[in-house]
Amino acid sequence: MLAFAVLFDLDGTLTDPKLGITRCIQYALSELGYIPPDADELHWCIGPPLQDSFSQLLKTLDNTVIEQGISLYRRRFATIGLFENSLYPQIPEILKAIRFAGYKTFVATSKPYIYATLIIEYFGLSLLFDGVYGSELDGSRSVKGDLIQHILLTEKLLPSTVVMVGDRSHDIIAAKHHHIASIGVTYGYGTEEELKAHGADLIAHSPNDIPKLIIRK
């Protein structure tokens, strides 16, 4: 019997991390001597790898400078920003429904594994996932395609039996790269236009749409 599995992005899909992420970015930029943008101007930083975001924020490709920014971000995130976060409505219920239908569930996030695990535990979701996968603190596997490849190999999953659920273009791009189905969610930080433009197979406008689309898919 094939093991069907669903990979869930974390930020913008399971939880709304806006407060923590934007405050930590603002803190890092302030510490580096910059005037940080307002939180609403930092929505584009929610989802992509931090390396990419800080490269754009600091307008540099210098890894030393980028790592300074990330280090300052993590100084606040590890103790405060991590928990400035909230679950989207009905997330526990939809996870239970998907697992009841026989699917395995995994977290697949560009966020470091160590933080992703703490967040899943904080919200009491640990028993609703077969595994939590994220990047390493050195940045490896922060590219979603690399992470998905790692999950497929580690869990011995066939691409044809997997669905990726995420709110940003990089979730959809990574899914297509590995020939797995994708569901783009519009309640997070990506738009329907962004998701469709990169080839999302299906669109969920609320968490409650996800189980219906997965079971139909």
Would you name the residues annotated as active-site residues?
9
How many whole angstroms separate alpha carbon 161 and alpha carbon 158?
5
Find out whether 5 and 157 touch, Cβ atoms under 8 Å: yes
> 149 — phi, psi (to 5°)?
-60, -45
How many whole angstroms separate alpha carbon 216 and alpha carbon 101?
11
How far the first Cα of the chain sits from its last, in Å, is 17
Q: Which two tokens stand for residue 26?
A: 């603002």
SS3 34: coil
